[in-house]
Amino acid sequence: MTNPKLKQIIEYLAGLYMNKLEITGKKMLWEDFHRAMLGIYGKEPYRMPKSEFEEHKKELEKIGIVESSTESEKFLEIDNDLPLGMNIRFYINAHDARSAREICKATVNGLKKQRFKIKTSGRATFPYDRFDNTVLYINKNDDVKSVIEFYQELTKSNETLFDNEVPLITQKFAKGIGIAVSPEYEKREILGNYFGYFKFTFNGLHSTVLNILFDEYRKRGISDLNQMTDLYSQALKQAGFNPEKPYLNLGMEDPLDLIGK
């Protein structure tokens, strides 16, 4: 039976794909799929003005959030002893920079007994158009349930801090917050395309799957939506994702099932 959620994703992306093809004569590329997942496809890039960034940075430094050691002023972050290993990711869609600061402040204070890392946009391109402008990482073996409950309460009491949308393939569990998991570090062969050991991000690997998938549709002459969805399910499984819940890896328990227990 064709998965309705996967079908909806493919129908949406196929519409974008055909629209670009008709307008430009060019197919969607990896970058296009990646932008579509993050909510910035077709939008004009911009950066936070330097003066605004300096004020943003100064306020975040008060709670220990500083410029990223790897991405400089594009993102600001704090690492509260997050251990190496597979992480649960919380993709947070803050309404604007002020909202992101309030969310980060609440997170740092509310989860101070947890091991975590939080990263938020600074002068990244599309800083607050992105549906993932703020991301929290928690080790999968830590108390993920309490983090989910924390954000459920935060969104209920502070709705205006959040925009509604979440990245396309994450699982939304509260206003503006989607959950997903870091991909396994393993070899992959996706529809005949071989990848050795490579550390993919969640959105990066999903973008790779979609880029391969739409090339296969073209090569095989597949245009039936059910057939497209079935091949997508196959590609997700080969990439190590659960086709029924593509925000999870194959064989892992769903952290959202812990709620109410």
Domain ranges for the chain, please list them: 4-42+187-258, 50-181
Placement of tokens 């998991």 in the chain:
181
pLDDT of residue 69: 82
- Upper half-sphere CA count for residue 205 (Cβ side, 13 Å): 32
For residue 78, the tally of other CB atoms under 10 A from its CB is 19
Residues 6+ positions from 108 with CB-CB distance below 8 Å:
63, 64, 65, 78, 80, 118
Q: Under a CB-based contact definition with an 8 Å cutoff, are residues 173 and 256 in contact?
A: yes
Which two tokens mark 101? 């600061």
Q: How far apart, in Å, do the first and last CA atoms of the chain sit? A: 30
pLDDT at residue 261 tops 80: no
pLDDT at residue 34 tops 90: yes
For residue 63, the tally of other CB atoms under 10 A from its CB is 15
202 pLDDT band, cuts 50/70/90, is very high
Residues 6+ positions from 13 with CB-CB distance below 8 Å:
28, 33, 36, 210, 214
pLDDT tens, position by position, 132-150: 999 999 999 999 999 999 9
pLDDT of residue 2: 74
pLDDT tens, position by position, 76-88: 999 999 987 789 9
